[in-house]
Amino acid sequence: MSDWIDIGPLEAIAPRGARVVKTAFGCVAVFRTAKDEVYALDNACPHKQGPLAEGIVHGAKVTCPLHNWVFDLETGHAQGADEGQVATYPARVEEGRVLLDVEFLNNRTAA
């Protein structure tokens, strides 16, 4: 059974926005879409390590602020002509709180 950690209230993240969670193995970007879904991805574009948390969120996608690579938030796959993938981690909302799977930290260590 997974163990979820509460990282903060949903309203701390703007709709179509993101916030960063610091971990011992780098930052994770936690996104909130217009529909209040949340997604957690590595906060580094595979192209030039752009901070994805600062990108523009549209639908369930984000555009990297450095060179406009577009990633699907669900799978982490780059869209269109670009090739690459960002690691994704389980995230969900329960009673207005954003939860991340504690396992993800361990997976990040292993990676």
Partner 1 sequence: MVKKLVVIGAGMASGRALEELFAKDPEGWDVTLFNAEPRGNYNRIMLSPVLSGEKTFDEIVTHTAEWYEENGVTCRFGEKVVAIDKEAKTVTAENGDVLAYDKLLMGMGSNPFIIPLPGHDLDGVIAYRDLEDTNAMIALGDKPEAKAVVIGGGLLGLEAAAGLALRGVDVTVVHIMGHLMERQLDEAAGYLLRKALTDKGIKVMCSANSKEIVGEDGKVKALMLDDGTELPCDLLVMAVGIRPNVALGQAAELAVGKGIRVDDQMVTSDENILAVGECVEHNGAIFGLVAPLYDQAKVVASTLAGEEAAFVQKEVSTKLKVTGCDLFSAGDFADGETREDIVFRDPARGVYKRLVIEENKVIGAVMYGDTADSNWFFGMIKDGTDISDMRETLIFGPAYQGGEPLDPMAAVAALPDDAEICGCNGVCKGDIVAAIKDGANDLGAIRATTKASASCGTCTGLVEQVLGATLGDDFVIPTEQPMCGCTDLTHEDVRRLIKSQELKSMPAVWQELGWKTTCGCHVCRPALNFYLLADWPLEYADDPQSRFINERKHANIQKDGTYSVVPRMWGGMTTPDELRAIADAADKYNVPTVHVTGGQRIDLLGVKGEDLPAIWADLNKAGMVSGHAYAKGLRTVKTCVGRDHCRFGTQDSTGLGIQLEKKLWGSWTPHKVKLAVSGCPRNCAEATCKDIGVVCVDSGYQLGVAGAAGMDVKETERLADLTTEDEVLEYATAFMQLYRENAKYLDRPYKWVAKVGLDWVKEQVEDEATRKALVERFEISQSVYRKDPWAEHAETKAETYAPIANLVQEAAE
Residues that bind partner 1 (CB under 8 A): 5, 7-8, 12-17, 19-25, 27, 30, 33-35, 37, 48-51, 54-60, 63, 65-66, 68, 70, 72-75, 98, 105, 109
Name which of 1 and 24 has its Cβ closer to partner 1. Answer: 24
CB of 84 to partner 1, least distance (A): 16
**26 neighbors 43 (Cβ within 8 angstroms):** yes
Measured CA to CA, the distance from residue 9 to residue 36 in angstroms comes to 12
Measured CA to CA, the distance from residue 52 to residue 64 in angstroms comes to 5
Name which of 1 and 31 has its Cβ closer to partner 1. Answer: 31
CB of 2 to partner 1, least distance (A): 15
Task: Compute CA distances 41 → 52, 59, whole Å.
Answer: 8, 16
CB of 43 to partner 1, least distance (A): 9
Most distant CA pair in the chain: distance in Å?
A: 39
